[in-house]
Amino acid sequence: MTGAMTTSESANASASFTPAERDYIRRELSMFFSTLPTVAEGFALKLDTDKAGNYSYLVRDAAGVELNRIDYSVAGQGNVTRSSGV
């Protein structure tokens, strides 16, 4: 069978871990998610919006490896060229 697990399959999968393995997984997940802001805390991200243009916000790890790139545009008065359509 392919696709999502049924409830009984999910229960059987979690039963295959030993108590020590479950504790380890719980600690690792807790440590990972504790570094992320919660929805209740909010997350303030200051984007450069001083000038019109196209920008990218880069998310890098401690080694400088790019993990994510968020492209955004700022509309407004600026050095923008427009085709005449003629």
Q: Please, which residues have CB within 8 angstroms of residue 82's CB and are 6 or more apart in sequence?
A: none
**Amino acid letter for position 83:** S
For residue 57, give the 3-state DSSP assignment: strand
The domain segmentation of the chain, as residue ranges, is: 7-74
Asked whether the predicted pLDDT for residue 1 surpasses 50, the reply is no
Segment 37-62 shows an average pLDDT of: 80
Asked whether the predicted pLDDT for residue 3 surpasses 70, the reply is no
Asked whether the predicted pLDDT for residue 68 surpasses 50, the reply is yes
Task: Quickly state the pLDDT bin for 33 (edges 50, 70, 90).
Answer: confident
Q: Please, which residues have CB within 8 angstroms of residue 13's CB and are 6 or more apart in sequence?
A: 5
Asked whether the predicted pLDDT for residue 42 surpasses 60, the reply is yes
Nearest CA to 77 among 55, 46, 50? 50
